[in-house]
Amino acid sequence: MGQQVRDGFVELYKTAPEGVWSAPGRVNLIGEHTDYNDGFVMPFALPHTAVAAVSRRTDGVLRLHSADVAGGVVELRLDDLVPGTDRKWTAYPAGVVWALREAGHPVTGADVHLASTVPAGAGLSSSAALEVVVALALNDLYELGLQRWQLARLCQRAENVYVGAPTGIMDQTASACCEEGHALFLDTRDLSQKQIPFDLAAEGMRLLVVDTRVKHAHNEGEYGKRRAGCERGAALLGVDALRDVPYDGLGAALQRLGDDEEAVRLVRHVVTEDERVERAVALLEAGETRAIGPVLVAGHASLRDDFRVSCPELDLVVDTAVAAGALGARMTGGGFGGSAIVLAEAADVDTVTKAVLEAFAAAGRTAPRVFEAVPAAGARRLS
Ligand code: ADP
Ligand code: MG
């Protein structure tokens, strides 16, 4: 796709771009709604990427174009970028430029043409791919010398403040830092990371992504409510973040919350989910990959029953896949629609896929899109 985006840039701006970059979407293996609680996550990068051809400008102008959005080039003045004022796709790349400049980096303008194969709004983080590809391009072109984790922080700031979506740091870090053939065990408190080898094919397994095509929208309420509820829970328990509630202290913490059912549910999910991430990492490192199946299923139940961010379609994928012989399955991403992942023996993939498609047809729902996910590379310069 790099060449196509390069050609698109030339056609649009009548000159060659200074370079072409790519940044992937991600699926999260385990660790959901933990990132804004300073907890653990374990995403890996998808082969689906946002690709951007970019050149610098010196006149304070930012020109943006997406091959995937109808309409022409959007031209913005850097001095006019104001957080919370842009409700369109351009807020993501413009937010990155805003965040870089706000942090004191001498970005004086850019021409951008991009295209993405990450499905938008499917819980696979098309937004972070967009942010990270632009951040990496500007970091290279303007020789800002920022490290990957710093770019991720700036992209998160762009999404939180400029776009107005209160998301955690997982998506941007995954896009910026993941490595081919590995899942990224990330401590979202200090961004310390460990690359965990994750080669399912070698062990006779597959991981499927099932995009339910039910659209979610993070910046529309529920996500923010969960986040605020977690902060409230932490305050009630007298900790900085729910990460600080130890798993073996969960019983005491819940007792302390008493009949505050809302806080009990949110705290219980976050604390048990952090433990599930650590358990999954330990299992993968011990070579007991199949044993993460039940951990995924338990994570889904917690998201469905305690955190209440699943939806009937995601539950249908998980229930059907497990009943059809999958090793494990769970929703991935923020929820309220989007995608689920299914871990299955290679030999069972066809049976499981067929069962899911038939269940959706029988329920009269739109057919989901099912594809196999293999851990791909993180953001990089293509040319
Ligand atoms: P997710 O990150 O799960 O895909 P988000 O709601 O966080 O969902 O981000 C989706 C938004 O990102 C889209 O509504 C659009 O504004 C923007 N976006 C994603 N891909 C593209 C693209 N190829 N071109 C332009 N904008 C895009
Ligand atoms: Mg997103």
Average pLDDT for residues 346-375, to the nearest whole number?
97
- Residue 166: pLDDT over 90: no
Whether 192 has a pLDDT exceeding 60, the answer reads: yes
Active site residue 80: no
- CB burial class (10 A; 0-12, 13-18, 19+) of residue 259? exposed
- With the most atoms of ligand 1 within 8 angstroms of its CB, the residue from 49, 126, 173, 219 to mutate is 126
Q: How far is CA 50 from CA 151, 258, 327, 361, in A?
A: 16, 46, 31, 31
99 to each of 91, 106, 156, 163, 250, how far by Cα in Å? 11, 11, 9, 11, 38
Query: DSSP states of 329-378 as a string?
Result: EEEESS-SSSEEEEEEEGGGHHHHHHHHHHHHHHTTPPPPEEEE---B--
0.90 surpassed by complex ipTM: yes
The Cα 137–Cα 151 span in angstroms is 11
In angstroms, rounded to a whole number, what is the distance separating the alpha carbons of residues 138 and 124?
A: 24
Q: Has residue 211 got a pLDDT over 70? A: yes
pLDDT, tens digit, 9 for 90 and up, residues 88-142? 999 999 999 999 999 999 999 999 999 999 999 888 999 999 999 999 999 999 9
Q: For position 221, what pLDDT does the model report?
A: 86
Residues contacting 220, CB < 8 A, separation 6+: none
pLDDT at 5: 98
Looking at all shown ligands, the one closest to residue 124's CA atom is: 1
Residues having CB within 6 Å of any atom of ligand 1: 66, 68-69, 89, 92, 116, 120-127, 130, 217-218, 333
Are the C-beta atoms of 169 and 191 separated by less than 8 Å?
Answer: yes
Question: How many residues does this entry show for the chain?
Answer: 383
Percent of the chain with pLDDT over 70: 99
Taking the model in full, what pTM does it have?
A: 0.96
The number of the ligand 1 atom at minimal distance from the alpha carbon of 219 is 6
Instruction: Read off the DSSP letter of residue 203.
Output: G
Q: Tens digit of pLDDT for each residue in 230-266? A: 999 999 999 999 999 999 999 999 999 999 999 999 9
Residue 217 pLDDT: 62
How much is the mean pLDDT over the chain? 97
Q: What residue type is assigned to position 167 of the chain? A: T
Band (374; pLDDT cuts 50, 70, 90) = very high
Which of 46, 87, 116, 127 gets mutated to test ligand 1 (max ligand atoms within 8 A of its CB)?
127
- Read off φ and ψ for residue 225, nearest 5 degrees: -65, -45
Sign of torsion, CA 149 154 155 159?
Answer: positive
Residue 120 CA: nearest ligand 1 atom is 4
Among 65, 62, 91, 222, residue whose Cα is nearest residue 160: 91
Rounded to the nearest 10°, the torsion over CA 151, 157, 160, 163 is -80
Q: Residue 324 in 3-state DSSP?
A: coil
192 assigned binding-site residue: no
Residues 338-348 have a mean pLDDT of 97
Average pLDDT over residues 169-192: 97
Distance in angstroms (rounded) separating the CA atoms of residues 52 and 346: 35
- Strand locations in the chain (E): 19-28, 40-41, 43-56, 61-66, 74-77, 110-116, 182-187, 193-197, 205-211, 328-332, 339-345, 369-372, 380-381
* Average pLDDT value for residue range 376-382: 98
Report whether pLDDT(383) > 80. yes
Predicted local confidence at residue 215, as pLDDT:
83
148-157 vs 91-102: helix axis angle to the nearest 10? Answer: 110
Sort strands 205-211 and 193-197 into parallel, antiparallel or unpaired. unpaired
Query: In sequence order, what E strands does 125-226 have?
Result: 182-187, 193-197, 205-211
Residue 219 has pLDDT above 80, yes or no: no
Q: Is pLDDT at 218 greater than 90 in this prediction?
A: no
Phi, psi of 315 (to 5 degrees): -60, -40
Q: Is 184 annotated as a binding residue?
A: no
